[in-house]
Amino acid sequence: MRALCQRVREAHVTVDGTEVARIGQGLLVLLGVFVDDDDTRAARLAEKTLALRVFADAHRPMNRSVVDVSGSLLVVSQFTLAADTSRGNRPGFGKAAPPERARALYERYVEALRERWPQVATGVFGAEMQVTLTNDGPVTILLER
């Protein structure tokens, strides 16, 4: 499982021209699920996401978590994070979990976030989405479990 976390000032998702989610300061999380992922990995990655210290305090530029700054999370499914380009220029997706399994683990990850922090918005799993963000920094961190 991979979570590409971007510190944002704001972010929103639209599907078919309709906004389905919006956040202010926080993290935009693009989540990729792999064939060997399970519920335990999803829960651990959620904990790591919430604890990730990428927000500034008075002493350091990266010392506070999204929880510490009362920020929000916007989680978007992103199967292309499982892309394999080792054999050429066309990505292969054999390591990506099948859609039904990926959806269940995506939902488990979101549930684990919400168990500890209520400010979690989501895109629409499997939909063609447009994601708009104002990256802050920019700061982009890849978490893997």
Domain hosting 12: range is 2-144
pLDDT in tens, 75-104: 999 999 999 999 999 999 999 999 999 999
List the CATH number of the domain containing 91: 3.50.80.10
Structural tokens at position 108 = 């488990």
Residue 34 is a catalytic residue? no
pLDDT at 145 over 80: no
Query: 29 and 3 in contact (C-beta within 8 Å)?
Result: yes
The residue-averaged pLDDT of 98-114 equals 98
Residue 40 is a catalytic residue? no
pLDDT band at 46 (very low <50, low <70, confident <90, very high): very high
| Count of structural domains within the chain | 1
Task: Decide: helix, strand or coil at residue 85.
Answer: coil
Q: Which of 6, 34, 49, 78 is catalytic?
A: 78
* pLDDT computed for residue 123 by the predictor: 98
The residue-averaged pLDDT of 5-15 equals 98
Task: Decide: helix, strand or coil at residue 142.
Answer: strand
* pLDDT computed for residue 28 by the predictor: 98
Q: Which of 34, 49, 55, 79 is catalytic?
A: 79
Residue 122 is a catalytic residue? no
Mean of the per-residue pLDDT values of the chain = 97
Alpha helices in 13-65 (DSSP H): 39-51
